[in-house]
């Protein structure tokens, strides 16, 4: 069974995954990195050369492969937008939605913004807010549990997630 971490860019999926991996004894699958490795190029290059739709197909393909495996999966921020992806996640594990206020996201994304094609070109608070609002219903539809991350340490967040899981053993 997989543990999927979903949420907006900068909500803390990538930093949470190794912490949970250590406690659960499951390997980490960082989807963006895996897609980059397989493609031999960065996400940004994939978007530029092949477009967003192509990237989304790579994401869904990788997700399908994870179906019968057991990973802590750090999902790209757009993965839950497709109904098929939401179904695959729910069928093959538990889904945790990490929430954060747009202000928090903006602060966390100060670095690494250029690597995120959807936020390039100086996206500010209002762009983040509106993209987030349009995605919120999909994140909620995919999630088994919501976990708030604003103003909390990674360890606190990890403990809350573990308390929600039937297979945590803690
Ligand atoms: C995306 C989020 C990114 C990456 C791509 C698209 C999105 O992942 O998959 O840039 O649509 O929100 P992170 O959420 O890990 O930044």
Using one digit for the tens of pLDDT, what is the confidence trace for 144-170? 999 999 999 999 999 999 999 985 544
**Does the C-beta of 76 come closer than 6 Å to ligand 1?**
yes
Name the DSSP letter for residue 92.
S
CB 14 within 8 A of CB 72: no
Residue with tokens 């747009």: 102
Query: Quick one: pLDDT at residue 61?
Result: 98
pLDDT at residue 123, rounded to an integer = 76
d(C-alpha 74, C-alpha 62), whole Å = 12
pLDDT in the model for residue 134: 96
The residue to mutate among 44, 116, 120, 128, having the most atoms of ligand 1 within 8 angstroms of its beta carbon, is: 116
| Nearest protein CA to atom 2 of ligand 1, as residue | 77
Q: What is the pLDDT of residue 167?
A: 59
CB neighbours of 137 closer than 8 A, spacing ≥ 6?
none
CB of 152 closer than 8 Å to CB of 100: no
Predicted confidence at residue 150, as pLDDT, reads 96
Q: Taking the alpha carbons of 76, 138, 12, 1 in that order, is the dihedral positive or negative?
A: negative
Q: What does the pLDDT read at residue 170? A: 44
Cα 25 to averaged position of ligand 1 atoms, centre (Å): 26
CB 12 within 8 A of CB 98: yes
Q: Which two tokens stand for residue 82?
A: 């497709």
Residue-by-residue pLDDT tens, the chain, 170 positions: 999 999 999 999 999 999 999 999 999 999 999 999 999 999 999 999 999 999 999 999 999 999 989 999 999 999 999 999 999 999 999 999 999 999 999 998 887 777 788 887 777 899 999 999 999 999 999 999 999 999 999 999 999 999 999 855 44
Alpha-carbon gap, residue 15 to 144, rounded angstroms: 20
Nearest in space to 61 (alpha carbons), one of 90, 82, 40: 82
**What pTM was computed for the model?**
0.95
Count Cβ neighbours within 10 Å for each residue of 57-72 and write b for 16 or more, e otherwise: ebbeebbeebeeebbb
The whole-number pLDDT of residue 114 equals 74
Atom number in ligand 1 closest to CA 11: 14
Q: What is the pLDDT of residue 116?
A: 85
């Amino acid at each position: 069974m997989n543990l999927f971490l979903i949420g907006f860019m900068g909500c803390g999926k990538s930093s949470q995954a190794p912490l949970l991996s250590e406690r659960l004894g499951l390997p980490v699958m960082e989807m963006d990195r895996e897609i980059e490795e397989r493609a031999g190029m960065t996400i940004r290059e994939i978007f530029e050369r092949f477009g967003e739709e192509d990237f989304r197909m790579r994401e869904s393909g990788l997700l399908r492969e994870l179906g019968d495996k057991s990973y802590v999966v750090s999902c790209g921020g757009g993965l839950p937008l497709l109904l098929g992806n939401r179904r695959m996640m729910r069928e093959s594990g538990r889904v945790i939605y990490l929430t954060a206020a747009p202000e928090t996201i903006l602060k966390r994304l100060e670095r690494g913004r250029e690597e995120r094609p959807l936020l390039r070109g100086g996206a500010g608070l209002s762009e983040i807010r509106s993209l987030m609002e349009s995605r919120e219903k999909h994140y909620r539809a995919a999630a088994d549990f919501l976990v708030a991350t604003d103003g909390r340490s990674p360890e606190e967040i990890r403990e809350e997630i573990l308390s929600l899981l039937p297979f945590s053993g803690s």
